[in-house]
Amino acid sequence: SKVKELSSEVVDNNPYSRLMALQRMGIVDNYERIREFSVAIVGIGGVGSVAAEMLTRCGIGRLLLYDYDTVELANMNRLFFRPDQVGMTKTDAAVQTLAEINPDVVLESFTMNITTVQGFETFTSSLTNKSFCPSKEGGSGVDLVLSCVDNYEARMAVNQACNELRQTWMESGVSEDAVSGHIQLLVPGETACFACAPPLECISGIWVNLRILLSRVVASGIDERTLKREGVCAASLPTTMGVVAGLLVQNSLKFLLNFGEVSPYLGYNSLKDFFPTMKMRPNPQCSNVACLQRQKEYMLAKPERDAAAKAK
Ligand code: ATP
Ligand code: ZN
């Protein structure tokens, strides 16, 4: 009855009232803080575009969008893009739609490949721009990076930038057969980085070490895109991508607004409706130098963390 009483107050037409009700109901302490947060989304495809729309509708402060591709008719089996946007860059098409949905969100569009030398430089320098949040501590000007790309090299580039900038990020993926996916939280030094531990992906009911599989493809010099084009065309479903985007943004909201439990890893197997979770510790033998530096810092800060925990 308390919920009934509370929700009867919010019968106006402002979408923010529905979000602010989360605060009145005691789920979130301070929902309005969402307007102060910046989120970078790398890959505005089947998962990234939907994640961007969800954050826009939640009233996020600022979104930085990265993608090198253009909208194609073949993308219409996913959510978000419309046929009249075919030929536009994905980032510009996204800005067009998102600005209509919520003009309060600051939108920045980066049409580029983050794995080229120039692209990587632009990527890291855009992440360090603090004009939106001058008082933010640390080297980064964003609060969270979401990786929604579909290849190993791009994930490694996000991993490198985030390890260097001490930037917390979340990784997402959908399997090539379109029936499973995952999200993963990566906190440099504290959790496994993308180069630390093998991720597990459930393909047709079998747990596959996708990272080793993909690193072999990359190491053998075969271009993943060629492999995709010449081999069997990868499947995709708006349902699986929508679910993964939902899990990713739900975890992001919990992380940013500090409510509930932030999942370190959450898998989704649609064939069995199985949602495995696990924690991955950093690998002291990780090949990524920046990861090893972050691990060292994390160890050195242990007395501080213990004291803070005791004071609580
Ligand atoms: P498909 O390959 O099935 O046609 P897609 O390429 O649109 O689909 P998605 O999984 O829907 O793939 O989305 C991944 C997105 O990540 C794509 O829009 C792609 O352009 C983007 N992306 C991948 N690698 C990079 C990169 N290095 N820099 C910028 N964007 C990238
Ligand atoms: Zn690592």
* pLDDT, tens digit, 9 for 90 and up, residues 199-224: 555 555 555 665 555 444 444 444 45
Task: Label residue 18 by pLDDT band (50, 70, 90).
Answer: confident
Using a 6 Å cutoff on CB, does residue 93 contact ligand 1? no
**245 HSE (CA, 13 A, CB side):** 26
Ligand 2 midpoint to CA 146 (Å): 18
pLDDT of residue 204: 54
pLDDT of residue 217: 47
pLDDT of residue 137: 87
- Among the atoms of ligand 1, which is closest to the Cα of residue 153? 27
Task: Label residue 21 by pLDDT band (50, 70, 90).
Answer: confident
Residue 286: active-site member: no
Using a 6 Å cutoff on CB, does residue 113 contact ligand 1? yes
pLDDT of residue 208: 60
pLDDT of residue 142: 98
Using a 6 Å cutoff on CB, does residue 176 contact ligand 1? no
Task: Label residue 197 by pLDDT band (50, 70, 90).
Answer: low
Using a 6 Å cutoff on CB, does residue 110 contact ligand 1? no
Q: Give the ligand at the shortest distance from the Cα of 89.
A: 1
Pairing of β 62-67 and β 106-111:
parallel
Q: Are 148 and 43 in contact (CB under 8 A)?
A: yes
- Among the atoms of ligand 1, which is closest to the Cα of residue 46? 11
Cα separation, 214 vs 221, whole angstroms: 11
Pocket test for ligand 1, best of 72, 86, 124, 149 (most atoms within 8 A of CB): 149
Question: What average pLDDT score do residues 53-82 get?
Answer: 96
Ligand 1 midpoint to CA 312 (Å): 44
Protein residue whose Cα sits closest to atom 7 of ligand 1: 45
Give the residue, 80 or 226, on which the prediction is more confident.
80
Ligand 2 midpoint to CA 154 (Å): 16
Task: Label residue 52 by pLDDT band (50, 70, 90).
Answer: very high
* pLDDT, tens digit, 9 for 90 and up, residues 105-119: 999 999 999 999 999
Using a 6 Å cutoff on CB, does residue 79 contact ligand 1? no
pLDDT of residue 135: 86
End-to-end CA distance of the chain: 33
Mean pLDDT, the chain, as a whole number?
Answer: 88
pLDDT of residue 233: 77
Ligand 1 midpoint to CA 157 (Å): 14
Is it the case that residue 39 has pLDDT exceeding 90?
Answer: yes
Ligand 2 midpoint to CA 160 (Å): 9
Question: What average pLDDT score do residues 26-34 get?
Answer: 93
Give the residue, 14 or 69, on which the prediction is more confident.
69
Is it the case that residue 253 has pLDDT exceeding 60?
Answer: yes
pLDDT of residue 200: 56
* pLDDT, tens digit, 9 for 90 and up, residues 258-283: 999 999 999 999 998 999 888 888 99
